Amino acid sequence: MSSFTDFFGLKEDPFKITPDIEYFFLSQFHQEAIMSLNYLVKSGEGFAVIVGEPGTGKTITLRKFIHDLPDSVEYAYILFPNLSPEEMLKAILEDFGLSDVKDRELSKNKLLSKLRDFLIQKKKENKKVLVIIDEAQNLPVETLEELRILSNLETEKEKLLQIILSGQPELEHKLNSPELRQLKQRITLFVRFRNLNYDEMINYITYRLAKAGNMSLMIDKKAYKLVFNYSKGNIRLINLIMERTLMAAFVDNSFSIKPHHVESAVESLKLIEKKKRKVAPIAAGILIPLLLIGVLGFGYYQYADRLSIKEKSEEKVKKENIFAIVAFPVVNLFSKPEKNAPIVAYLKRGDKLEVVEKKDKWFKVSIKKNGKVIEGWIPDAYIIVNNNTKN
């Protein structure tokens, strides 16, 4: 059974959220960020800071920048650095290949001396040295201050070490604190990331699909508008919504992305909050007695008819030959609609399933594996069903 990438003739999922520089989209502000970082390296300035909300493309931009660095530049790349000053120094030395097990007992002065000797040697080789720290909002204030001290390592003419900090807006708040005023004075480059605007989002989606080999997939203008309304141009959310949208279109056997495919994707991601209707006090005073009368008068009818409604609903699912697609990397298929029931199979993202029955928040589905048809139950949160049939 084909996957949604095979269905659309794509060589891979174009909207995977892991940073892949092969899919790096050079919007205007991403291009400006790359140019600014390259200027930092050439100018020999000490500190640069990149700030942006999660999902605006900071990490993939850093990785693209690193990938394109010339051989004359060496770097240490530190990720998720919730580290003390000494731990940070050791992490930098390890990334430069300067630390081993024996060095763990060295004093801080010895570690600094080791780093300084390395920087001086690289200077003699006409090489520049960078320390790049991603998710730097996690750094304690004392560690940020230690980085300022490291930036003091210099010759009479230029810095021996350049530092790039990238993080969420909390990083800027930290840098504005009185304890870090000296560090803030050292920052010569400050770059702010933002979400994509509507036109940039369309270009981004088109670019990613083309990189993955798209030749036939069409996207309705109203579908684009829905993606933008729900994502607000945030790249991470665009990726999540578009991946699920492709799955919804695949389930629908459609080579054209329609608004209802986006709605199915957003619903499966739980991005839609159901609005609770508010009843005005006066209206409530009138409605509540009427409702009580209705319950007393028609309660028996509702109870007697409930079973037939449920049977019709389940019979409709059986007759319409509905399909669904697995939306998570790995999902269990259970023998009963219970999470502690025996597992009959493991499903993977993109597996296409035939819906047999619906019961509360569970779907009974069937799939053909190794020539055998396997049936089992799966929670509705883990699959995408055509929006017109799921409700």
What is the dihedral sign for C-alpha 314, 318, 323, 327? positive
pLDDT at 119 over 80: yes
CB within 8 A of 187, min separation 6: which ones? 47, 48, 49, 175
pLDDT at 238 over 60: yes
Q: Per residue in 13-60, pLDDT tens?
A: 999 988 899 999 989 889 989 999 998 898 887 789 999 999 999 999
What is the dihedral sign for C-alpha 10, 12, 18, 22? negative
Q: How confident is the model at residue 34, as a pLDDT?
A: 93
Q: How confident is the model at residue 222, as a pLDDT?
A: 96
Rounded average pLDDT over 265-292:
55
Q: How confident is the model at residue 46, as a pLDDT?
A: 78
Q: How confident is the model at residue 136, as a pLDDT?
A: 94
Rounded average pLDDT over 252-281:
76
Per-residue pLDDT band for 330 (boundaries 50, 70, 90) equals confident
Using an 8 Å Cβ cutoff, are 67 and 21 in contact? yes
Q: How confident is the model at residue 298, as a pLDDT?
A: 40
Per-residue pLDDT band for 159 (boundaries 50, 70, 90) equals confident
Rounded average pLDDT over 243-257:
93
Q: How confident is the model at residue 204, as a pLDDT?
A: 96
Please tell me the distance from the alpha carbon of residue 141 to that of residue 200, in angstroms, as a whole number.
Answer: 36
pLDDT averaged over every residue in the chain: 83
Q: Per residue in 65-90, pLDDT tens?
A: 999 999 999 999 998 778 888 889 98
Q: How many CB atoms lie within 10 A of CB 373?
A: 9
Rounded average pLDDT over 350-354:
85
pLDDT at 294 over 60: no
Rounded average pLDDT over 90-106:
77
Per-residue pLDDT band for 210 (boundaries 50, 70, 90) equals very high
Q: Per residue in 213-231, pLDDT tens?
A: 987 789 999 999 999 999 9
Minimum mean pLDDT range among 30-39, 191-200, 225-234, 284-293: 284-293
Q: How confident is the model at residue 272, as a pLDDT?
A: 64
Domains of the chain: 28-192 (3.40.50.300), 200-268 (1.10.8), 319-390 (2.30.30.40)
Per-residue pLDDT band for 100 (boundaries 50, 70, 90) equals low
Rounded average pLDDT over 94-107:
73
**Of 218 and 326, more confident:** 218
pLDDT at 280 over 50: no
Using an 8 Å Cβ cutoff, are 138 and 80 in contact? yes
Please tell me the distance from the alpha carbon of residue 81 to that of residue 84, in angstroms, as a whole number.
Answer: 9
Alpha helix segments (H runs only) across 215-361: 221-231, 235-251, 259-268, 281-319
What is the dihedral sign for C-alpha 19, 24, 29, 33? positive
Residues belonging to the chain? 391
Please tell me the distance from the alpha carbon of residue 288 to that of residue 293, in angstroms, as a whole number.
Answer: 9
Q: How confident is the model at residue 300, as a pLDDT?
A: 39
Using an 8 Å Cβ cutoff, are 363 and 380 in contact? yes
